[in-house]
Amino acid sequence: MSLQDKKILIGITGGIAAYKISFLIRDFVKQGAEVQVIMTPSARTFVSELTLATLSKNPVYSDFYGENGTWNNHVELGMWADAMIIAPCTANTLSKMVHGQCDHLLLATYLSARCPVFIAPAMDLDMYAHPSTRQNLEMAEDFGHIVIPAEEGELASGLVGPGRMAEPETILYAVKNYFLPQHKSLQGKTVLITAGPTYEAIDPVRFIGNHSSGKMGFELAKEAAARGAKVILVSGPTALVPENREIDLHRVTSAAEMLDEVFKHYHHADIAIASAAVADYAPKEIAPEKIKKNDDHLTIELVKNPDILKTMGAQKKQQFLVGFALETQNEEANALAKLEKKNLDMIVLNSLRDEGAGFKNDTNRITIFTKQEQIGFDLKSKKEVAADILDAVEMRLLK
Ligand code: CTP
């Protein structure tokens, strides 16, 4: 039981997702954790204290003062906890947290807590997207808190979009992962990553290629290695060099070479992530000598390259397979179609329409799709995006 004797303080605020916290408490208790619960006054209208007290095997607190004039000591509660989880966290409580307000016990305890704080926001779509909420979530992250992003789906208002609280198992995973020794959460796993562009030769000096820098794949490799995985990185031409010597780098040039190299390792991989921007077509013939500019027109016949990811999907056994999609239109539908067509477990969509996202930038804004879920993320550095992708993989593979 990986959370044996860990002291978990759960703060529930007034959102419809409060009912799901019963399952979260049960899961924490099953993992050997000790659980105490604080509710905001409005949370009490959504879920019964009796249910929470029964499941946590502890009294539930919501006021500064208990019965018979006793004082519910927020300092003691804050000091007691090894982790504090605010779930669901409403826009109101989030705002009060990051601005130091303190008008109920949950906030006083939060301000007194010295332990890591996890925040699982839950609110309606426009509230979640509002610049003030985005700013408050960023502030919470700047304080060092761990924000567990809301998921997309049908909301209590009937609207559909991001804002639904992460599922209890996702919250549980985030907390469990935090307590793993040195975060070596991928120890014993082999991760195969493709990165960079491919160059398809036209003649000895020219090629067809693209602007991919390889940064996303190299960041994924670095993050996976930091989590203890054995990492095999198959990269097309890029100037990047892995910082971590443990990464087993194989440099290739063309899509055909990438396919060959990938299949030397794929069968042993536990996780395979195709972040390479593979050229879809290659010249049918490579001219043996440099093509001279004799004519006004030059036609080069192209033939389709092998689809490396689709081939991986067709031969998938134990591998958790992740693809990327770079779309300029009908993004969601195209990404979901690729998930299906290439037999993937997950697809990471980045849109070229987003400023700061895409090939050459150091930042990226992604949406992750599985067959059941859709999770949107803010614009972040590729390093942070790599961590988000691996968190998402681990949550589904290792739980
Ligand atoms: N990919 C691959 N081999 C190829 C083409 C793509 O492994 N020959 C992988 C990429 O690494 C990426 C995913 O497939 O993970 C999506 O690639 P993309 O080019 O966007 O999709 P395609 O299926 O090629 O569709 P289209 O170009 O029509 O959008």
On whether both 328 and 232 belong to a single domain, the answer is yes
Q: Structure tokens of 75? A: 């300092």
CA dihedral 249, 251, 254, 256 (to 10 degrees): -50
CA dihedral 89, 93, 99, 103 (to 10 degrees): -140
Instruction: Work out the average pLDDT over 120-144.
Output: 94
Separation of 174 CA from ligand 1 center, angstroms?
31
pLDDT at residue 328 above 90? Answer: no
Residue 88, preceding peptide bond in cis (omega within 30° of 0): yes
Residue found under tokens 């490579």: 286
Residue 203 belongs to a domain? yes
| Cα–Cα distances in angstroms (integers) from residue 107 to residues 11, 92, 96, 207, 247, in the given order | 9, 11, 8, 60, 44
Residue-wise pLDDT tens digits, 83-95: 999 999 999 999 9
If we measure between CA atoms, which residue out of 86, 95, 85 comes closest to residue 133? 95
pLDDT bucket at 183, cuts 50 / 70 / 90:
low
Q: Which residue's CA is the nearest one to ligand 1's atom 18?
A: 325
On whether both 170 and 236 belong to a single domain, the answer is no
Atom of ligand 1 nearest to the CA of 312: 7
pLDDT at residue 69 above 90? Answer: no
- For residue 169, how far is the Cα from the chain centroid? 14
Burial class (CB in 10 A: 0-12, 13-18, 19+), 233: buried
Query: Which amino acid, residue 29?
Result: V
Q: Structure tokens of 123? A: 């609110």
Helix (H) or strand (E) holding 289: none
For residue 195, the domain's CATH number is 3.40.50.10300
Residue 1 belongs to a domain? no
If we measure between CA atoms, which residue out of 165, 182, 192 comes closest to residue 85? 165
Separation of 306 CA from ligand 1 center, angstroms?
10
Helix (H) or strand (E) holding 161: strand 160-164
Residue 104 belongs to a domain? yes
Residue found under tokens 């003062």: 65
Separation of 274 CA from ligand 1 center, angstroms?
9
65 vs 114: CA distance, rounded Å? 22
Domain end, chosen from 179, 210, 234, is at: 179
278 vs 308: CA distance, rounded Å? 8
Query: Which amino acid, residue 357?
Result: A
Atom of ligand 1 nearest to the CA of 309: 7
On whether both 288 and 147 belong to a single domain, the answer is no
Separation of 236 CA from ligand 1 center, angstroms?
14
- For residue 175, how far is the Cα from the chain centroid? 14
pLDDT value of position 359: 61
For residue 20, the domain's CATH number is 3.40.50.1950
Residue 185 belongs to a domain? no
On whether both 206 and 281 belong to a single domain, the answer is yes
Work out the angle between the directed axes of helices 21-30 and 168-179 (0-180°, nearest 10). Answer: 40
On whether both 200 and 63 belong to a single domain, the answer is no
Q: Structure tokens of 281? A: 């077509």
Residue 294 belongs to a domain? yes
On whether both 173 and 278 belong to a single domain, the answer is no
Is the separation of the CB atoms in 62 and 41 below 8 Å?
yes
294 vs 250: CA distance, rounded Å? 38
Mutate to test the pocket of ligand 1, among 309, 339, 342, 352 (most ligand atoms within 8 A of CB): 309
147 vs 271: CA distance, rounded Å? 25
Residue 130 belongs to a domain? yes
pLDDT value of position 220: 97
Q: Structure tokens of 180? A: 């793993």
Q: Decide whether any atom of ligand 1 lies within 6 Å of the 305 Cβ.
A: yes
CB neighbourhood size of 314 (10 A): 10
pTM above the 0.75 mark?
A: no
pLDDT at residue 263 above 70? Answer: yes
pLDDT value of position 1: 57
Residue-wise pLDDT tens digits, 269-323: 999 999 999 999 999 999 999 999 888 899 999 999 999 999 999 999 999 999 9
Domain end, chosen from 117, 147, 179, is at: 179
pLDDT at residue 352 above 90? Answer: no
Mutate to test the pocket of ligand 1, among 261, 307, 322, 342 (most ligand atoms within 8 A of CB): 307
On whether both 245 and 348 belong to a single domain, the answer is yes
Mutate to test the pocket of ligand 1, among 254, 303, 338 (most ligand atoms within 8 A of CB): 338
Q: Decide whether any atom of ligand 1 lies within 6 Å of the 308 Cβ.
A: yes
Residue 122 belongs to a domain? yes
Residue 251 belongs to a domain? yes
State the residue range of the domain holding 77: 7-179
pLDDT value of position 244: 78
On whether both 111 and 156 belong to a single domain, the answer is yes
Residue-wise pLDDT tens digits, 15-68: 999 999 999 999 999 999 999 999 999 999 999 999 999 999 999 998 887 766
Separation of 318 CA from ligand 1 center, angstroms?
22
Domain end, chosen from 149, 179, 209, is at: 179
Residue 191, CB half-sphere, CA atoms under 13 Å: how many? 32
pLDDT value of position 90: 97
Atom of ligand 1 nearest to the CA of 334: 29
pLDDT value of position 133: 97
On whether both 165 and 214 belong to a single domain, the answer is no
Domain count of the chain? Answer: 2
On whether both 239 and 384 belong to a single domain, the answer is yes
121 vs 170: CA distance, rounded Å? 13
On whether both 205 and 154 belong to a single domain, the answer is no
pLDDT value of position 243: 78
Q: Structure tokens of 224? A: 């996976």
131 vs 217: CA distance, rounded Å? 30
Burial class (CB in 10 A: 0-12, 13-18, 19+), 159: exposed
210 is catalytic: yes
DSSP 18: G
If we measure between CA atoms, which residue out of 26, 168, 158 comes closest to residue 87? 168
On whether both 147 and 242 belong to a single domain, the answer is no
